């Protein structure tokens, strides 16, 4: 394995850990399905980038964060529930993305492609993961307070609106890191399924976060090995999904 592939594998592992951390909080905020929708926000600019032969991750990241800010603004200004605001933006992005993405690039946009990664790309992705982890660790107490009682959090001086925006942004940043490997359709899987699996295995907060990240990491590692060694394909996303679903199914066997 050359340096480019090594960087890609390491970044995929870091993404898995970040997805487990974010997914843990998202599950408790009842936002796990939002990750599936938010990942689709990247589709319009992904499609335009493929059409113009530009960098799809730069394009995808642009609409991902603009869409996230739009969701936050819609929720704040119209008092829509977060899922309603996300649904409105999601429908628009999905339609535009499907319209502008060249058909020959549609599969890569949706399912990703495991390719070599340059050192600058690896460092940029690592910085994004560190930023996600730093936010979650630094805001841990405020996030927990907001989970149980937003009113109490506000009464103690926590700016709940900004906290929600910050979480939405690191949520989107995590999805962006995964776009390269999983595509717009599947990059949310490692936020949703490992967290649900961990919830079946433990009720303790500290263990919940660790188990979610571990399940996400195992899913990526096993999916990567199965795809490259057995199926001989660089499209690893679907295999990672199958492994994560299998682990979730196994967690259902645990007796409460």
Alpha helices in the chain (DSSP H): 3-28, 32-40, 43-52, 56-78, 82-100, 103-111, 119-138, 140-148, 150-155, 160-186, 189-201, 205-225, 237-251
What pLDDT score does 251 carry? 93
What pLDDT score does 179 carry? 81
The answer to the question of residue 10 being in a domain is yes
What pLDDT score does 5 carry? 86
What pLDDT score does 198 carry? 94
What pLDDT score does 22 carry? 93
What pLDDT score does 63 carry? 65
- Residue ranges in the chain modelled with pLDDT below 50: none
Phi, psi for residue 93 in degrees, rounded to 5: -65, -40
The answer to the question of residue 256 being in a domain is no
Domain count, the chain: 1
The answer to the question of residue 15 being in a domain is yes
Domain range enclosing 215: 3-251
CATH number of the domain residue 47 falls in = 1.10.3470.10
The answer to the question of residue 201 being in a domain is yes
pTM: 0.84
What pLDDT score does 204 carry? 86
The answer to the question of residue 238 being in a domain is yes
């Amino acid at each position: 394995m050359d340096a480019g592939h090594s960087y890609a594998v390491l970044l995929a592992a870091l993404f898995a850990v970040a997805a487990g951390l974010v997914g843990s909080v998202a599950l408790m905020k009842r936002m796990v399905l939002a990750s599936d929708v938010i990942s689709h926000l990247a589709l319009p600019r992904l499609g335009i980038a493929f059409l113009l032969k530009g960098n799809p991750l730069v394009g995808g990241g642009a609409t991902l964060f603009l869409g996230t800010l739009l969701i936050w603004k819609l929720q704040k200004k119209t008092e829509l529930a977060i899922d309603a605001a996300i649904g409105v933006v999601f429908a628009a992005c999905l339609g535009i993305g499907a319209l502008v993405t060249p058909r020959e690039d549609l599969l890569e946009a949706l399912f990703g492609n495991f390719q070599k990664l340059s050192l600058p790309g690896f460092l940029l992705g690592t910085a994004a993961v560190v930023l996600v982890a730093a936010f979650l660790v630094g805001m841990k107490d405020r996030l927990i307070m907001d989970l149980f009682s937003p009113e109490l959090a506000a009464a103690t001086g926590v700016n709940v609106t900004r906290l929600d925006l910050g979480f939405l942004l690191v949520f989107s940043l995590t999805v962006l890191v995964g776009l390269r490997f999983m595509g717009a359709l599947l990059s949310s899987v490692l936020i949703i399924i490992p967290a649900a699996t961990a919830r079946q295995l433990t009720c303790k907060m500290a263990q919940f976060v660790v188990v979610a990240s571990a399940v996400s990491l195992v899913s990526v590692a096993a999916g990567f090995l199965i795809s490259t060694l057995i199926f001989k394909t660089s499209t690893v996303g679907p295999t990672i999904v199958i492994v994560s679903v299998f682990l979730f199914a196994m967690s259902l066997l645990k007796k409460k």
